[in-house]
Amino acid sequence: MYLLWLRVAAVLYAAASVAVFPAVLYDRERWRNICVHMGGIGLFFHFVSAVEMLALAHRWVPVHVREVESLLGLAVVALFFLVWWLYDAISLGIFALPAAFFLVLVPALGPGGYTFPSQHVRTSWLIAHIAALMVAYVALTFSVLASVLYLVQERRLKSKLKAGQDSWWMPLEWLPPLDTLERIAHATLEFGFPCMTVGLIIGAVLVQETSLGASYFLDPKVILSFICWGFYVLLLLVRRSAGLRGRKAAYLSSAVMVVMIVVYAANMVSRVHKFGGP
């Protein structure tokens, strides 16, 4: 039964991970309540699962990798709720809850991992994995481009140049207003984030049917992907909470873009897996 409770906890963590973003980024009280209640119930089921798992194994120390992952996820959520209870710092849930979900996802698939019913189904998941990550890359590229154009337009307006005097090689009257460029940069950023999250989740499921197992998470490309995801979250949080825009927002977006380029380059030289096969 411990596997059933762990799967329930994984679903609840997923719901809490979704709810925490509007709760923190947009200060929505309703989503805040959903996040706290879903995460709290998930923590309860996770604790029951962990106790039952170790009791069935007749030991109180985790041995296997999936046991360690499950207990580590439990510790992350427990620490998050302790901090939330003491300091009401729900913003930390943006990192803690998705991290716990990723840690619990693989153990929740079962000791033998997940097996796809057919090769066609597996291929469909692989296509979805690649497409989601590619869309995330494209969305961030558009965000960086809009941020750079924001800087160009800002400098143009401050210079108070007349029409046709913007540049010796190309006039810039066609640039959209600053507010429009800012909204494009932020909207594409928010669009790309769930795509990257879905791509990482599908990748974690895909690899369970291969011989890679836990070594999948030791691949430098995978580590860089999760680091990039963390930067993505940080960028969204900083832009929303600090009202960051303009030059600083462009620099932050560019930094995340550099990490994504490194991830893509690592895919070309990775000996563990490539886009063509997880």
Q: Is there a contact between 229 and 197 (Cβ–Cβ < 8 Å)?
A: yes
- Answer yes or no: is 206 within a domain: yes
Q: Give the Cα separation of 278 and 276 in Å (integer).
A: 7
Last residue of a domain, one of 108, 139, 160: 108
pLDDT at 218: 62
CA distance 139 to 195: 9
Domain boundary among 56, 84, 108: 108
**Opening angle at CA 121, ends 120 and 123, nearest 5:** 65
* pLDDT for 278: 42
- Please indicate, yes or no, whether residues 128 and 248 belong to a single structural domain of this protein: yes
What pLDDT does 230 receive?
A: 82
- Pair (65, 172) in one structural domain: no
Q: How confident is the model at residue 7 (pLDDT cuts 50, 70, 90)?
A: very high
Q: Tell me the pLDDT band of 44, cut-offs 50, 70 and 90.
A: very high
pLDDT at 75: 95
Task: For residue 161, give the amino acid letter.
Answer: L
With 70 as the cut, is the pLDDT of residue 274 above it? no
| Residues 81, 43 contacting (CB under 8 angstroms) | yes
In-domain check, residue 113: no
If we measure between CA atoms, which residue out of 29, 67, 74 comes closest to residue 48? 74
Residues 27 and 126 in one domain: no
- With respect to residue 276, please indicate whether it lies within any of the assigned structural domains: no
User: Which phi and psi (to 5°) does residue 78 adopt?
Assistant: -60, -40
d(CA 127, CA 129): 5
- Quote the mean pLDDT of the chain: 80
Residue-wise pLDDT for 55-69, tens only, equals: 988 888 887 878 888
Question: Are 125 and 108 contacting, i.e. CB atoms less than 8 angstroms apart?
Answer: no
Statement to judge: residues 123 and 249 lie in one domain: yes
Question: Lowest-pLDDT range, 9-13, 31-35, 95-99, 175-179?
Answer: 175-179
In whole angstroms, give the CA distance from residue 46 to residue 40.
10
How many domains would you assign to the chain? 2
Q: What is the mean pLDDT of residues 236-240?
A: 75
Other CB atoms within a 10 A radius of the CB of residue 26 amount to: 9
For residue 114, tell me if it sits in a domain. Answer: no
Residue 259 lies in a domain: yes
Average pLDDT of the residues in 187-202: 87
Q: Is 186 part of any domain?
A: yes
Query: Lowest-confidence range among 133-137, 187-191, 223-227?
Result: 223-227
**Given 108, 132, 167, which residue is the final one in a domain?**
108
- Give yes or no: residues 135 and 261 share one domain: yes
Dihedral sign of CA atoms 112, 116, 122, 124 in order: negative
- Predicted confidence (pLDDT) per residue in 126-160, tens digit: 899 889 988 988 888 888 888 888 877 777 777 76
Phi then psi dihedrals of residue 34, to 5 deg: -60, -45
Range of the domain at 163: 119-269
Backbone torsion region of residue 164, taken as left when φ is above 0, otherwise alpha when ψ lies between -120 and 50, otherwise beta: left
Per-residue confidence (pLDDT) for residue 169, from 0 to 100:
45
Q: What pLDDT shows up at residue 155?
A: 76
* Residue 211 pLDDT exceeds 70: no
- The verdict on 70 and 144 lying in the same domain is no
Does residue 137 belong to any structural domain of this protein?
Answer: yes
Per-residue confidence band for 261, with pLDDT thresholds at 50, 70 and 90: confident
- Are 39 and 146 in a shared domain? no
The predicted pLDDT at position 33 comes to: 95
Residue 196 lies inside a defined structural domain of this protein: yes
Residue 277 — very low, low, confident or very high, per pLDDT cuts 50/70/90? Answer: very low
Token pair for 127 = 């296509």
Q: Name which residue leads in pLDDT, 170 or 146.
A: 146
Task: Say what the pLDDT of residue 131 is.
Answer: 92
